[in-house]
Structure 1
């Protein structure tokens, strides 16, 4: 094979996009350079052979300049003007050369070469060359005869041969120019028609893109537009199924002759379908089969009839394959121009589909957010479990999973799943499903979600609805315990994705939280009712107890008064001298009677303490304390206890009931003296701290154990409740103290250590300052 010659740049023809113009410019460029070379040879012959009576050297120089001008026009991308100038130059050279011979008239030469041109154009390149050669021989013969020469003059012969060679070249160029012009015009018309159809299809696709936000509706309109605008036998768009390596035909996205049965093409390495469509989907490259009968990848489908050519172009959604556009023609042979036009349309389709998918995804996310919010709101407001589940199923079914959606809960006694709520496109309702059977039963038993792309291939699927092709099921958990499942079905295979699985799990989590809240609320309400009933019973018991205590106190008061009176008479000797042996029994009777009287008074005070709020007056606590001092000092001396009394004379006034406050103070001081051994100390200190009067009563007695300190203010509670206890009492004193302090808006605190003594701190609020 000969090596390819790399000509200098100035010798090369300019580049044109149109292939016909590019070929024509190359030939014309070559002929112009040949013409310049021939003119140079003519000029040399004229100078070397002075007897040659042909052309004037200046005329030949003028023709050379014309050829150079034609080259300049060609490089200025004006091939038609350059070709016209070239033909004109050849015509001038041939005509002038013939007339220089003096044997042929101008009219004869014109007629002769016109015939040569017309014959050459009509007969083609070979015919033009033949006519030029025969005419050249005829002119040579006429020239020799006219000159009467027996020996030919080679200079005229060379000139004539060169001139008629130029005629032959002119014929070739003229014929090629006309043919190229006709072919280019036809090609331009074809391109114009194709471009018009492409622009119209682009406009129609743009209208379809704005007419609907649904991708399926858009694809349906696109296939019909392409089939009509490009006059195609069949147009279809096959989409890639989610989560699989299969191309499936959307039944809506067909135009022209359509499939009666929806085909699918596998793209997997092991079971890949051998077809043009599958090849394009795997390689992501367009494919043109100008003659399908000689193409090894062509897969005939009986629904489409006879086909002549096929084009398949991938549709890319961003960087992901969305599907394949497949077109078939049964009349004309599709070519690269058709392929380029369809590629442009597929680029537009990919952009529109990508934007529509983004819009659908945004709307989907909005619907998901609304559904989660609606379920959370319903769960917060609902108090009935079944009503909440019905609301949740309706929300999810209407906005997210519209075909079949259900909520099933486990019946632990029967060990089955029962439909509690559902949203479906028909009147179908599944029966109770045993645990471990069917997809829902398996999920309920294992606690693991299942996404089934084709239920017909799943051994766990229980055939209930023949229309169902795909199913998605996730467990419902409350505190790590599976209580049920969420289940959704679809009539299309591979209808659910991992995103749907994650969404359903999020919905299951929200529903489980709401169910737990409703159950806790129901349990709380039940317990509240039980507690309310118990409280009611306790209140009734307390009322009966208080009534009993009040009655007993009332009944005890009169007999105790009589007994106390007779004891005083006996002790005073008004009935006569009391024998010595009776003194001790009478004293015991007097002490016990006094204790019972104190008990009755405490009970009466405890029952009536709340009724004395309206008896509050302004009083000075310092004066009240000073009235108690003599009695408490006498008791302390009798028990050999040191009593320390620190009460400032300037204590501010408070609001209170004097009798209650006196009872409260006496109870605290009596307890302090009672539980302090001989030689011990009891102190009372009063001072103002902030907006309160603080009283601290401290004793060095036996103290109170820490575990019993929280109960000393309960009614009838005693630190030492045994029958052999050292100190007497009813267990009402401190309870009465606490109620009196709280009635006055104050508070009481206890600080005690066993065997180290006890301190009671009482705080009573001062009168608020006058405005």
Structure 2
């Protein structure tokens, strides 16, 4: 009995020791995971470059989950394809573009993490997926969706295990999802920081345009500076300014940026009728942005190579006087901040034109008053009606560049032609 009791105590102590060791191992594992998550958080707070963030996060995932490979795919603006943003260890896949459509991607868009243990025998794999995974030596794989705060899919995190009989556990999946959610926030912060910087730079470019244009600037100078500013502000393979011809009811290209060169032709530029996309913008009076003209089956007559296109109405006060178009040969190249700043700059062009017109009008008014005063002074120096009428006719003819004029007083008419004063003997020049 004594021996049996001692043996029972020893076995109990052994079980307690094993349990303590297991608890210690779990605690050590938890500490290791928490440290890894903390390191990822620090990385997200410090890194402002997507490539560097992806590089550090994929390494952290491999280390903390003790897996063999991790990669991150980010969805492209077309929402149909994705690009490998980075991986660890490096397998040469970074920059590779792949399809972002199909059953697996549909599940990711539904906020579902996908775990496939034992790739060789797993059921329900989409056609071609098993072969693709086997070709890279993957035995178990996990895909975790990268989602923004609105729930839209930014991309996915892929986790690979090359060793057989080493499946993903629920605990591993939980850790992977926790880190991935932080990565999504980090990517959004980087995008926001980049967009804010870009927007600030664009506003600075617009400010320089406003400083370079004065009320005395001729229209030609305004249009040239506008084209240059558009090219500096965003990626532009094309930019054009069209003014509306009321008499002929069409748009005429008066300024064009093409092949890196700016030109202004106020008289003989290309003419476009008010139909198609130009007519739509003119009639609706709203700015449009077409991310990919090929998807819209749009034939942009000004330049058929354009894939990304923005068009805005050009207004002076409340009156639309023309349109401005901006385009690139690469689809989906413009961000929403680019569209906002494009709208803002088109408004600034309208203000510049309005100021120039107001200045020109004030100059004409001042000149008219000066001429009126001069003519009034000459009239006051005359002593008879005939002289008064002759001076009036001659001075008005010269001021208005009139070839012929006539003053009627009852049945009597005094005429002057080509702005010349009648002769002193009363005869009229012809």
Secondary structure in structure 2 of the residue aligned to 1:461: coil
CA contact (8 A) 1:406 1:486 kept: yes
Q: C-alpha deviations, 1:279-320, integer Å up to 9, x for none?
A: 1222x2433222345142556468773333222223343344
With over 3 angstroms needed to count, the CA separation of the structure-2 counterparts of 1:250 and 1:466, relative to structure 1, is farther
Match for residue 286 of structure 1?
113
Distance (whole Å) between structure 2 residues aligned to residue 453 and residue 191 of structure 1: 48
Instruction: Give the superposed CA RMSD.
Output: 4.6
Match for residue 237 of structure 1?
73
Distance (whole Å) between structure 1 residues aligned to residue 128 and residue 27 of structure 2: 33
CA contact (8 A) 1:290 1:335 kept: yes
CA contact (8 A) 1:223 1:237 kept: no
- With normalisation by structure 2, the TM-score equals 0.65
Which of 218, 224, 232 is the aligned partner of 1:384? 218
Q: Please, which runs of 5 or more residues in structure 2 have no aligned partner?
A: 264-268, 385-430
CA contact (8 A) 1:287 1:311 kept: yes
Which of 278, 297, 320 is the aligned partner of 1:459? 297
Distance (whole Å) between structure 2 residues aligned to residue 444 and residue 454 of structure 1: 21
Distance (whole Å) between structure 1 residues aligned to residue 326 and residue 67 of structure 2: 43
With over 3 angstroms needed to count, the CA separation of the structure-2 counterparts of 1:313 and 1:465, relative to structure 1, is farther
Q: How far apart are residue 263 of structure 1 and its match?
A: 2.7
With over 3 angstroms needed to count, the CA separation of the structure-2 counterparts of 1:260 and 1:252, relative to structure 1, is closer
Distance (whole Å) between structure 1 residues aligned to residue 307 and residue 24 of structure 2: 54
Match for residue 274 of structure 1?
103
Decide which structure has greater helix share.
Answer: 1
Q: Larger Cα Rg: Structure 1 or Structure 2?
A: 1
Distance (whole Å) between structure 2 residues aligned to residue 222 and residue 485 of structure 1: 47
Distance (whole Å) between structure 1 residues aligned to residue 276 and residue 35 of structure 2: 54
Which of 302, 314, 326 is the aligned partner of 2:157? 326
Which of 75, 78, 82 is the aligned partner of 1:249? 82
Match for residue 241 of structure 2?
408
Q: How far apart are residue 476 of structure 1 and its match?
A: 1.1
Distance (whole Å) between structure 2 residues aligned to residue 462 and residue 481 of structure 1: 25
CA contact (8 A) 2:241 2:255 kept: yes
Match for residue 348 of structure 2?
510
Q: C-alpha deviations, 1:530-565, integer Å up to 9, x for none?
A: 5434544444444x43xx69xxxxxxxxxxxxxxxx
Are 1:473 and 2:311 matched, yes or no?
A: yes
CA contact (8 A) 1:416 1:434 kept: yes
Q: How far apart are residue 504 of structure 1 and its match?
A: 3.2
Match for residue 366 of structure 2?
528
Distance (whole Å) between structure 1 residues aligned to residue 38 and residue 162 of structure 2: 23
Q: C-alpha deviations, 1:133-167, integer Å up to 9, x for none?
A: xxxxxxxxxxxxxxxxxxxxxxxxxxxxxxxxxxx
Greater relative CO (CA pairs within 8 A, separation 6+): 2
Decide which structure has greater strand share.
Answer: 2
Distance (whole Å) between structure 1 residues aligned to residue 226 and residue 188 of structure 2: 32
Match for residue 424 of structure 2?
none
Q: How far apart are residue 417 of structure 1 and its match?
A: 3.9
With over 3 angstroms needed to count, the CA separation of the structure-2 counterparts of 1:371 and 1:228, relative to structure 1, is same
Which of 16, 22, 46 is the aligned partner of 1:210? 46
Which of 305, 325, 331 is the aligned partner of 1:487? 325
Match for residue 335 of structure 1?
168
With over 3 angstroms needed to count, the CA separation of the structure-2 counterparts of 1:323 and 1:334, relative to structure 1, is farther
Match for residue 253 of structure 2?
418
Secondary structure in structure 2 of the residue aligned to 1:458: coil
Secondary structure in structure 2 of the residue aligned to 1:318: coil
Are 1:312 and 2:146 matched, yes or no?
A: no
With over 3 angstroms needed to count, the CA separation of the structure-2 counterparts of 1:232 and 1:300, relative to structure 1, is farther
